């Protein structure tokens, strides 16, 4: 830490009950992953007491917010969209700096967040329920969505702008209030986002920001009895912990997105350049640190040699370096723990007898030695039982090429992991893509595309270990609202459904 320079002009603040609060206790540093000698800012390390105050503020704001016209709530999102548009470039630079993703991707992420905000504004005037027929002609039945209450938004560092908006947007529009805990790896983007909500005019208490680490602030938030829904994206271990906490509570629910072992499947009839392009983007964009990144490329054995030759030639040339330089393809890993995990899986692949094609390692030349830079690790691994590297999530530039001999085998191999998030099939055959569409386990499927790059008006989530059946983005509305039934009688008599008698017959006095 001796050489550490703090260059960030951003002093970390928490935003609770409409007030910005400086650190009163412990702090943490926001380290630049491309140069670990540089701290971009210093942030308050939120405590259980901070969480308690923030949840209290959200609870107090709830009644007046849920009674505010939905159209008015939506209009605040139009203000927010205009502010994000105004600040897009600045937000993208801040995001690229603290997260390490390249500027073009950081900008695309800000645009993805903007799209979510625009979508939310657009849905404000959409129906919030529907009417269905009653068995009794003098009754009307309504299905109406009502907000659940306080939503805890706990988000990852790999999408520090878009993912919070996938959750904050639908939650607030539906009339919930929120407590937002951004990842401690990307607190500046989280804080900038909270400041934009304030500037857009969201009333105090509707959005509260608590900084800090998962074990303290995150855990306290997920446990808090005043929280009704926990919306979380991150690791399987943390997600399972949140699921257990919710199960122990009498009212809490959760929407979880928890990692993957996504894949691109290159069929026998694939257009080869398209297949290689889709696989490169899926494996190495964002340095392999998207939840949906492809840790596996399944390739039909008939195409294997030709595919491998092109894929390796392209992967070898990819430029990993300064995220802010215009020609960089991908930046550093987020931190040392991420690097260690990838290197351990590279070792494991060697032990498991993989045929190594590109031997990834730390990049230690002068321009990259002080950042968490890795080069791509690419290998061929047969789909043998018990091979861990083709089943477990790695989260970095580590990709297995897995040969297969038939569509049926590819589907078996694809499904043979505990995860099910994203899948792309590369084929020219419409019957074939339908087979994969129907037989593979995933939340997001693609044909002749990478397995990354979903749009916000789709559900974003996964099956098996990847999710709990409550997708995010547009579909989060289901997780943050109760569907309620409401029945109105227009008759002067009471007429019961199912033919039940409404007769009150008299007998002996009781
Ligand atoms: C993530 O992978 O963590 O589909 C989010 C995509 C982006 C979001 C990714 N829209 O690649």
DSSP-assigned states of every residue in 318-362:
--B--TTSTT-SB---SSHHHHHHHHHHHHHHHHTT-EEEE---B
Instruction: Give the DSSP letter string of 276-300.
Output: HHHHHHHHHGGGG-STT-EEEEEEE
For residue 291, which atom of ligand 1 is closest to its CA?
2
449 CB near ligand 1 (under 6 Å): no
286 CB near ligand 1 (under 6 Å): no
What is the pTM (predicted TM-score) of this model? 0.96
451 CB near ligand 1 (under 6 Å): no
What is the pLDDT at residue 2?
Answer: 42
Give, for ligand 1, the residue of 291, 455, 459, 472 to mutate: max count of ligand atoms closer than 8 Å to Cβ.
Answer: 291
Q: How is residue 71 annotated by DSSP?
A: H
Residue 146 exposed, middle or buried by CB count within 10 Å (0-12, 13-18, 19+): middle
Max distance between CA atoms of the chain, in angstroms, equals: 98
- Over its length of 510 residues, how does the chain's per-residue pLDDT go in tens digits? 345 555 555 789 999 999 999 988 999 999 999 999 999 999 999 999 999 999 999 999 999 999 999 999 999 999 999 999 999 999 999 999 999 999 999 999 999 999 999 999 999 999 999 999 999 999 999 999 999 999 999 999 999 999 999 999 999 999 999 999 999 999 999 999 999 999 999 999 999 999 999 999 999 999 999 999 999 999 999 999 999 999 999 999 999 999 999 999 999 999 999 999 999 999 999 999 999 999 999 999 999 999 999 999 999 999 999 999 999 999 999 999 999 999 999 999 999 999 999 999 999 999 999 999 999 999 999 999 999 999 999 999 999 999 999 999 999 999 999 999 999 999 999 999 999 999 999 999 999 999 999 999 999 999 999 999 999 999 999 999 999 999 999 999 999 999 999 999 888 887
459 CB near ligand 1 (under 6 Å): no
Helical H segments across 124-218, by residue range: 162-173, 187-200
For residues 440, 444, 448 and 454, what is the CA-based torsion angle, rounded to 10 degrees? Answer: -170
Q: Which residue's alpha carbon is at the smallest distance from atom 9 of ligand 1?
A: 290
Q: How is residue 397 annotated by DSSP?
A: S
445 CB near ligand 1 (under 6 Å): no
Q: How far is the CA of 302 from the centre of ligand 1 (A)?
A: 31
Q: How far is the CA of 333 from the centre of ligand 1 (A)?
A: 16
100 backbone φψ class: left, alpha, beta (φ>0; ψ -120 to 50):
left
Q: How far is the CA of 455 from the centre of ligand 1 (A)?
A: 9
290 CB near ligand 1 (under 6 Å): yes
Q: How far is the CA of 292 from the centre of ligand 1 (A)?
A: 6
For residue 452, which atom of ligand 1 is closest to its CA?
11
Q: How far is the CA of 290 from the centre of ligand 1 (A)?
A: 6
Q: How far is the CA of 456 from the centre of ligand 1 (A)?
A: 10
Query: Which residues, 6 or more positions from 100, have their beta carbon under 8 angstroms from its beta carbon?
Result: 32, 33, 34, 287, 323, 331, 332, 333, 334, 371, 372
Domains located in the chain, CATH noted: 47-258+467-485 (3.40.605.10), 262-456 (3.40.309.10)
Question: Which tokens hold the place of 400?
Answer: 């297995």
For residue 112, which atom of ligand 1 is closest to its CA?
10
For residue 293, which atom of ligand 1 is closest to its CA?
2
CA distance 2 to 362: 23
φ/ψ of residue 66, rounded to 5 = -70, -25
Q: How far is the CA of 105 from the centre of ligand 1 (A)?
A: 11
13 CB near ligand 1 (under 6 Å): no
Question: Which tokens hold the place of 431?
Answer: 């019957």
In the block, residue with structure tokens 């659940």: 148
For residue 163, which atom of ligand 1 is closest to its CA?
5
Q: Which residues are catalytic?
A: 257, 291
Count other Cβ atoms within 10 Å, centred on residue 452: 22
452 CB near ligand 1 (under 6 Å): yes
**What is the CA angle 205-22-213, rounded to 5?**
80
For residue 455, which atom of ligand 1 is closest to its CA?
10
What is the pLDDT at residue 6?
Answer: 55
Instruction: Give the DSSP letter string of 430-496.
Output: HHHHHHHHHHS--SEEEESS-S----TTSEE--EETTB-S--EEGGGHHHHEEEEEEEEE-SSS---
Q: How far is CA 27 from CA 24, 74, 80, 419, 504, in A?
A: 9, 35, 29, 36, 69
């Amino acid at each position: 830490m001796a050489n550490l320079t703090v260059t960030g002009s951003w002093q970390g603040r928490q935003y609770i009950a409409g007030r910005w609060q400086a650190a009163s206790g412990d702090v943490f540093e926001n380290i630049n992953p491309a140069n670990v000698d540089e701290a971009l800012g210093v942030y308050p390390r939120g405590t259980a007491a901070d969480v308690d105050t923030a949840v209290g503020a959200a609870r107090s704001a709830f009644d007046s917010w849920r009674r505010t016209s939905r159209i008015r709530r939506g209009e605040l999102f139009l203000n927010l969209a205009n502010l994000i548009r105004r600040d897009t470039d600045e937000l993208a630079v801040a995001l690229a700096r603290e997260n390490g993703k390249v500027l073009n991707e950081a900008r695309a992420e800000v645009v993805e967040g903007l799209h979510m905000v625009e979508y939310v504004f657009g849905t404000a005037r959409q129906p919030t329920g529907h009417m269905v027929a009653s068995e009794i002609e003098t009754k009307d039945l309504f299905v109406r969505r009502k907000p659940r209450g306080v939503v805890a938004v706990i988000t990852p560092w790999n999408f520090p702008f878009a993912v919070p908006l996938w959750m904050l947007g639908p939650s607030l529009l539906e009339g919930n209030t929120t407590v937002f805990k951004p990842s401690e790896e990307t607190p500046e983007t989280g804080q900038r986002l909270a400041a934009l909500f304030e500037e857009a005019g969201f009333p105090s208490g509707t959005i509260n920001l608590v900084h800090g680490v998962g074990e303290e602030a995150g855990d306290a938030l997920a446990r808090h009895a005043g929280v009704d829904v926990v919306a979380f994206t991150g690791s399987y271990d943390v997600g399972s912990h949140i699921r257990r906490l919710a199960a122990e509570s009498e009212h809490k629910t959760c929407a979880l997105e928890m990692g993957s072992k996504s894949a691109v499947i290159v069929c026998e009839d694939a257009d080869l350049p398209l297949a290689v392009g889709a696989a490169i983007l899926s494996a190495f964009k964002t340095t392999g640190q998207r939840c949906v990144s492809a840790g596996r490329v399944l390739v039909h054995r008939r195409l294997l040699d030709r595919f491998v030759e092109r894929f390796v030639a392209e992967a070898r040339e990819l430029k990993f370096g300064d995220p802010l330089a215009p020609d960089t393809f991908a930046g550093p890993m987020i931190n040392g723990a991420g690097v260690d995990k990838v290197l351990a899986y590279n070792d494991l692949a060697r032990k498991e007898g993989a045929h190594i094609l590109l031997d990834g390692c730390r990049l230690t030349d002068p321009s990259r030695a002080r950042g968490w830079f890795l080069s791509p690790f690419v290998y061929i691994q047969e789909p043998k039982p018990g091979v861990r590297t083709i089943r477990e999530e790695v989260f970095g530039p580590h990709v297995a090429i897995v040969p297969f001999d038939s569509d049926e085998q590819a589907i078996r191999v694809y499904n043979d992991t505990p995860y099910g998030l994203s899948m792309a099939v590369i084929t020219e055959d419409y019957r074939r893509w339908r087979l994969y569409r129907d037989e593979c386990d995933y939340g997001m499927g693609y044909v002749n595309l990478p397995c990354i790059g979903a749009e916000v008006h789709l559900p974003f989530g996964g099956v098996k270990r990847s999710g709990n059946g409550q997708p995010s983005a547009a579909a989060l509305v289901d997780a943050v609202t109760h569907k309620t039934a409401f029945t109105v009688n227009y008759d002067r008599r009471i007429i019961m459904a199912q033919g039940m008698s409404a007769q009150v017959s008299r007998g002996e006095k009781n």
